[in-house]
């Protein structure tokens, strides 16, 4: 049984990290599945397929970067709290 005294806020931070970690994993798995399907089902030839794949990967990276920002803020906040508590 978890003690909820002074650790309540850090437990909430861990739950947030778990949520964003799962969200990130789902996004990465989806991106990989999409890339694989794109390669296997590509109606175009080499150069055009590579160009389209590159565009898709760049969009995915930008989207992932935007989704990671809250996770980074949460992790930095948890780190700052831990540093203050250790103090």
Q: What is the CA radius of gyration of the chain?
A: 19
Report the domain count for the chain: 1
Q: How far apart are CA 37 and CA 77, in angstroms?
A: 38
Q: Convert the pLDDT of each residue in 44-77 to its tens digit.
A: 777 887 888 789 888 988 888 888 888 888 877 7
Q: Which domain holds residue 71?
A: 45-87
CB atoms within 10 A of CB 20: 19
Query: Is 38 inside any structural domain?
Result: no
Q: How far apart are CA 66 and CA 37, in angstroms?
A: 24
Query: Is 13 inside any structural domain?
Result: no
**Residue 1, pLDDT above cutoff 80:** no
8-41 vs 46-86: helix crossing angle, rounded to 10:
170
């Amino acid at each position: 049984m978890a003690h909820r005294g002074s650790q309540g806020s850090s437990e909430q931070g861990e739950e947030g990290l778990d949520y964003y970690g799962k969200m990130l994993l789902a996004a990465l798995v989806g991106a990989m599945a999409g890339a694989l399907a794109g390669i296997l089902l590509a109606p175009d030839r080499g150069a055009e397929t590579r160009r389209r794949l590159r565009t898709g990967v760049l969009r995915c990276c930008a989207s992932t970067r935007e989704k990671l920002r809250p996770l980074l803020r949460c992790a930095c906040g948890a780190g700052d709290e831990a540093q203050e508590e250790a103090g």
